Chain A
Amino acid sequence: MYFWKCWRDTRSRFIFSLIAFPVLCVLFTFISVRLGWGVKPPTVIQSWSETTEIVLGGWTAFFSLLWGLVVGSSGLGEEFKDKTLDFLLVRPRARRYWVWMGWLEGVWELSLMILLSVGATFGTLVYLTGQVQTWWPLAAVLPLALGGAVTYGVTYFLTLVARSGRQGLSYGFGILFIDLLLPVALAYYWHINFPSVWGFMMAACKWLASVSGTFPAGPLAFWTIIALAFPLATELLLERAEV
């Protein structure tokens, strides 16, 4: 029921994104195959690896991070701002039900959007190169969805902290900005490796592009824990909240 209500609230935005993101992926894949990002004209192998690394690991990863922020901002905190939370919380369900149902709906939207984007990228690659070089790019769904789920969870939590979707979104943008810049700065000036969610997504797609070297299993586990930690923190916060 709450899942349906969340879907009902965001369906226009979701359907727009469901069309826009795969279209962008098709466009970037076309550029990748026809023009190439490195050596021109690219070979078929280069097209496949560059597309996986740059289109999926770069652009799609960035879009999924942004999409996570936007979806998260329509989380439970928005109910505070709209003064609808008391209506919700007097329904006979535990508070954790609202947290996890709302979170699950966002993750579902995010996963479907990424699945279609990766599918569109893969399909375009097959169409333009006339062959299936490798199936591994399809596995990019996992790190991309996980990265999106991290920013989604962070904004979902911050929206409740701020009790406003817009404020939660601006805090989320701030954290994403730090996530993008801080690891680069730390690595450049002090040679310190600081975990970055975008860095993880790029690394995972880079591995999928060549399937060589060590699979980033540690970061995968780390970011899975982070992705689940924020809805858990949201639950703890809501359990103690007075409306």
Chain B
Amino acid sequence: MNDTAIWTEKLVKTYPGVRAVDGLSLNVPRGVAYGFLGRNGAGKTSTIRILLGLARATEGHGKVLGFSIGRDQIAILERTAYVSESKTLYGGLTPRELVRFTRGFYPNWSDQAVEKYSRLFEIPMDRPFAKLSQGNRTKVYLLLALSQGADLLVLDEPATGLDPVVLDEFLCILVQDVIAEGRTVFISSHQLSDVEQIADWIGLIDHGKLLLEARLDDIKSQFRCVTAAGNALPQTESPEVLLLASEGSFYKYLVKKNADAFAAELSRQGATVAEVSPLGLREIFLALVRKEEPCTSGNVGGIPAAVSSSLS
């Protein structure tokens, strides 16, 4: 448990008519960048809000940095920096005043970090927050989060409005100044390519359930797309194989493990295996989410859990 930055067990959050988080069990190791991915409404922000005490879990429990959610909330917040999805701050305050307001709450606050990042991000420190562009507002939020000296950074869509140069600098900061120091980054984003650049671990959530949780390297080295042609090829699925598409005699499979063995088996059945190709995070994301979407709550979670255990 001490090696875990975030741990949840069967977390459930229901709103009237909606089960936003549905039995979510997360294991985020310390000192890694963890990409928390999912579609709009998948339950990412609800999960983050529960972790930070902004919402209460309907069922289940969890720990952040070893402290219980709800019970030890102040201890969690002292060690956690949060960049919210909305990026809304006090419009009348300037970034300098926002720094002044925020610094007193954190014992590890770094004025050097404020100096460094405000210069790097070129933040107009004396202009009221309401008059800043969306990109500059995001930068102010990031500045405040990075200067807290937090053990855990929870970033909900942190790239909103950032231009590619600043985004690149920010990702470098995360890797060099945060993760390299053994701190943890929990990043929720739709920008899969950005997450792919820095993430060590991936958690994929849909309809409030965890579809996949694994090391990104393991995913990249083991997940394959197998394209084959032939008659009467298998259309049934197993925990390791998902049928992505079939048109005429062409079939496309997502194979989560032992792709070469699967291709060999198809060949034995008389198929012509056209290609065994690696998959990017984007393809895997789309394949899993689209594939799982029509499923009912009874069978959605089964496959990813198996994948998770087989890869860890």
Which A residues form the contact surface with B (CB < 8 A)?
Answer: 1-2, 4-5, 8-9, 82-84, 86-87, 89-94, 242-243
Contacts and interface: CB of A to CB of B under 8 A. Distances in A.
12 contacts: A1-B105, A4-B101, A8-B92, A8-B93, A8-B97, A9-B90, A9-B92, A82-B91, A90-B80, A91-B102, A93-B105, A242-B49
B88 interface: yes
Nearest to B55: A242
Given A9-B92, A82-B88, A93-B74, A243 B49 contact: yes
A93 B52 CA distance: 12
Contact of B101 (A1, A89, A90): A1
A84 B90 contact: yes
Nearest to B79: A92
A92 B152 CA distance: 14
Given A5-B101, A82-B91, A90-B54, 12 more contacts: A1-B101, A4-B100, A4-B101, A8-B97, A84-B88, A84-B89, A91-B102, A92-B75, A93-B105, A94-B74, A242-B55, A243-B55
Contact of B77 (A2, A83, A92): A92
A87 B77 contact: no
B82 interface: yes
User: Which secondary structure dominates chain A's binding surface?
Assistant: loop
A86 B54 contact: yes
Contacts of B236: none
A4 B106 CA distance: 17
A8 to B, nearest CB: 7
B181 to A, nearest CB: 20
B92 A92 contact: no
A1 B90 CA distance: 14
Nearest to B85: A86
A93 B80 CA distance: 13
Interface in B61-114: 74-75, 77-78, 80, 82, 84, 86, 88-93, 97, 100-102, 104-106
Nearest to B54: A243
A89 B56 CA distance: 14
Contacts of A2: 101
Contacts of A5: 90, 93, 101
Q: Which of A84, A89, A92, A94 has the most CB of B within 10 A?
A: A92
B53 interface: yes
Contacts, number: 58
Contact of A92 (B84, B88, B97, B105): B105
A89 B105 CA distance: 12
B86 A86 contact: yes
Nearest to A12: B92
Contacts of A1: 101, 104-105
Nearest to A83: B88
B74 A92 contact: yes
B295 to A, nearest CB: 29
B84 A86 contact: yes
A4 B105 CA distance: 13
Nearest to B74: A92
A91 B52 CA distance: 10
Contacts of B54: 86, 89-90, 242-243
A8 B94 CA distance: 11
Q: Which of A82, A83, A87 has the most CB of B within 10 A?
A: A87
Nearest to B56: A242
B57 to A, nearest CB: 11
Contacts of A94: 74
Contacts of B92: 8-9
B139 to A, nearest CB: 15
B91 to A, nearest CB: 7
Nearest to B88: A83
Contacts of B77: 90-93
A100 to B, nearest CB: 16
Nearest to B49: A243
A183 B233 CA distance: 86
A84 B90 CA distance: 7
A94 to B, nearest CB: 7
A9 B93 CA distance: 8
Contact of A83 (B52, B56, B86): B86
B76 to A, nearest CB: 8
A91 B82 CA distance: 9
A29 to B, nearest CB: 36
A90 B104 contact: no
A92 B93 contact: no
B21 to A, nearest CB: 13
Nearest to A5: B101
Q: Which of B74, B93, B101, B104 has the most CB of A within 10 A?
A: B101
Interface string B209-229: 000000000000000000000
Contacts of B84: 86-87, 90
Contacts of A243: 49, 54-55
A110 to B, nearest CB: 21
Contacts of B74: 92-94
